Chains A and B, each alone.
Chain A
Amino acid sequence: MPDAALAAGAAEAGTSAAGEAGSGVFRGTPVCGSVAIGPLVVVGPAAARKRKATGDPAAEADALRTAIAAALAALEEALAAEDDLAGEILEFQAALLEDDDLTGPAFTAIADGAPADRAWTVALAAEIDAYRADGDPVLSARGDDLADLSARVLSHLTGTADPAADVPRGAIVAAAEMTPSAFLALSAAGVAGIATTGGSPTSHVAILAKARGVPLVVGLNALPAASPGPAGAAILDAAAGTLHTAPDAAALAVARARSAEAATAAEAAAARATQPAVTRDGAEVKVMVNIDDPAILDTLDPAICDGVGLTRTEFLFQHGAPDEEAQLAFYTRLIAWADGRPVTIRTLDAGGDKPLPGITVDGEANPFLGVRGVRLSLARPELTRVQLRALARAAATSPVPLKVMVPMVTVPAELEAMRALLTAEVDALAAARIAHAAPILGTMVEVPAAALTAARFDAAFYSIGSNDLVQYATAAARDNAAVAPLADPANPAVLELIGRTVAAGKARGVEVSLCGDMASTPALAAALLATGLRVFSAAPAEVAAVKDAIRSAAAGPAA
């Protein structure tokens, strides 16, 4: 939907149930969730409600002012209830509603005789087009915010309170596009699942859906036809990426069985997940979690893990460098969530496969061998200092020492340079009498040179980043299908590098953990235990399966 006014209409549009629309299977891209069954509600772009203009410019201006005030009040109410991620999106929108320069042209058009809804839509559409015009992804995302805003005010003007108003609890919603605010409203209304023809697996809505456990399919090949009549059941298979409308009794029975099966399996695994992981021969293994996104803290039970083995902080930098307070807020929230379990936070690991606009170096011939990880942190000390300050302040709230780890370290001097920056920030906080504590500093082991010389690093702990270690040891990229088979984590050279790191940690009396995909792969658990590794850090969704794999393996005499 290229037209901004149409996009705005889609979010605001009235809803209609599909009942006699006929059976059909629509295909899209799975984002998250499994099988959901519920009445289908199609939110179509064509059903934008009509508003009767008063014909009086003063009354029209009043109507728009009232709608803006109502939208602002609703936003501020939502802001108070939302987490950081949603809050950041909503905060910018709230500021825009108070921007007289933005709303001015609409009031000018009303004074010239335009009805309020048309004046508002046209004024915002011009701004949205301007944001999207030059293809800059950051400004385009701001254009989406304006489209969302346009729809919010319009819905107050036309009296369609919110897109979720007519959607029953447990419904499957199909829509052309979905704005973050429409998603949040639907999520709060308790929908069973959502499918959209637009959208992408990396959109704001996808991030929110994963965090809230709402099954989501995007990029549907077509929107099911909406027809009046009682809402028929639909099956959203969010794992396969399909939406099955008006399924017959047999298909429904299969879906119900699968849904129940998935729920039972998840329950059983969840019950086991909180139990400790002990090998067949009695070795206790710690299984920690990797945290990629703050939203998961809302739904994840810390009881399933022995702490946080890796916190990626790149998401904080998606929209530019975050200020110290924003970082501090997330770090302290994470520490509070862990409830006394150890927390490991990695300093910014940008570059390579994780470019960040305006932060990483563009145009490198080989970014994987270029300025990434600690190399970037040392090249941009102004960014690093802010992060280290926020970490040291957050450490004051931690009942156990906060662990900070440095990515992509090749030689000990890099770790020492980071330590010097950290020490300087800790000293500055002390001088300014700001509450803080010195975090303990560890090194990641991702570069073969670091694995082979691990004992030479004055690290308080080692954390093996197996994804990079595998690709640097095998000189093969996982995402290049032509060489991917070479990038084999079970290659004896990789296991040898891991074993040497574990031995170095043992000799120095410090912990060695592994936080790459290998630790999230149940099939590799036995091989990792054989290297002597006793601390895994896995993706939250894999913790239960990894613990099961550890329980059925033997640690052997290496322990």
Chain B
Amino acid sequence: MSSPATAPADVEWIEGAAVIVDPTGLHARPAVKLTKLAKTFAAAVEVRPDDAAAPWVNAKSPNAVMKMKAAHGAPLHIRAAGDDAADAVAALTALVERNFDA
């Protein structure tokens, strides 16, 4: 479909992380906000919880983000690849840091 779940292996990922302060972790409303913001970028954007073994999931998919069960108090890792990757990482990191504008 239109938004790639994963970018080709040789692309350069720009990474960032921000701590989820919402005590219930990443739930429906925040997940929808995060994916809506991610969709505004052309870059492939992925997130994963603070567990190096967990797979990266497409940050543009509310279903994938919802199922990921990112816990509060731990960093959410964000990476992007593509022309506006740096902007995407900065914007998503800022959104998490602002506690999804709560």
Contacts and interface: CB of A to CB of B under 8 A. Distances in A.
A and B together in one complex: yes
A483 B28 CA distance: 41
A138 interface: yes
The list of the 9 closest CB pairs from A to B, nearest first, reads A320-B24, A323-B102, A100-B1, A101-B61, A358-B24, A320-B27, A102-B63, A95-B32, A95-B62
A102 B27 contact: no
Interface in A95-117: 95-96, 99-104, 107
Interface stretch (B8-16, B64-72, B81-89): B64-72
Interface residues of B, number: 31
Contact of A138 (B27, B29, B100): B27
8 contacts: A99-B63, A101-B64, A136-B69, A139-B67, A319-B24, A319-B27, A320-B28, A324-B101
A358 B25 contact: yes
Given A100-B2, A100-B61, A320-B29, A95 B35 contact: yes
A322 interface: yes
A321 B23 contact: yes
Interface in A284-331: 319-326
A393 to B, nearest CB: 13
Nearest to B62: A95
Interface in B46-76: 58, 60-64, 66-67, 69, 72
Nearest to B33: A323
A92 B23 contact: no
A216 B64 CA distance: 35
A382 B29 contact: no
B58 A101 contact: yes
B67 A324 contact: no
A357 interface: yes
A427 interface: no
A88 B69 CA distance: 19
Contacts of A127: 63
A378 interface: no
Contact of B61 (A91, A102, A142): A102
A85 interface: no
Which of A96, A100, A357 has the most chain B CB within a 10 Å cutoff? Answer: A100
Interface residues of A, number: 34
Contacts of B7: none
Nearest to B61: A101
A131 interface: yes
Which of A88, A99, A127, A359 has the most chain B CB within a 10 Å cutoff? Answer: A99
Interface of A: 88, 91-92, 95-96, 99-104, 107, 127, 130-131, 136, 138-139, 142, 319-326, 357-359, 380, 382-383, 386
Nearest to B1: A100
B29 A100 contact: no
Which of B22, B64, B101 has the most chain A CB within a 10 Å cutoff? Answer: B22
A104 B1 contact: yes
B29 A319 contact: yes
A351 to B, nearest CB: 13
B72 A358 contact: yes
A207 to B, nearest CB: 16
Interface of B: 1-3, 5, 21-25, 27-32, 35-36, 58, 60-64, 66-67, 69, 72, 99-102
A359 B63 contact: no
Contacts of A100: 1-3, 60-61
Nearest to B72: A358
Contacts of B66: 139, 142
B2 to A, nearest CB: 6
B23 A320 contact: yes
Contacts of B31: 95
A386 B102 contact: yes
Which of B31, B69, B102 has the most chain A CB within a 10 Å cutoff? Answer: B102
A104 B4 CA distance: 11
Contacts of B30: 320
Which of A91, A95, A319, A324 has the most chain B CB within a 10 Å cutoff? Answer: A95
A127 B3 CA distance: 19
A382 B72 CA distance: 13
A99 B25 contact: no
Contacts of A92: 28-29, 32, 62
Given A92-B32, A358-B72, A320 B22 contact: yes
B46 to A, nearest CB: 11
A373 B43 CA distance: 45
Nearest to A360: B23
A131 B67 contact: yes
Contacts of A326: 29
A142 B66 CA distance: 9
Contact of B22 (A99, A101, A321): A321
A297 to B, nearest CB: 21
A95 to B, nearest CB: 4
B65 to A, nearest CB: 9
Contacts of B29: 88, 91-92, 319-320, 322-323, 326
Contacts of A142: 28, 66
A359 B101 contact: no
Contacts of B23: 320-321, 358-359, 380, 382-383
A88 B33 CA distance: 13
A92 B34 CA distance: 12
A358 B100 CA distance: 17
Given A99-B35, A321-B23, A386-B102, A107 B63 contact: no
Given A101-B5, A320-B22, A320-B23, A91 B32 contact: yes
B96 to A, nearest CB: 13
Contacts of B35: 95, 99
Contacts of A130: 67
Nearest to A142: B66
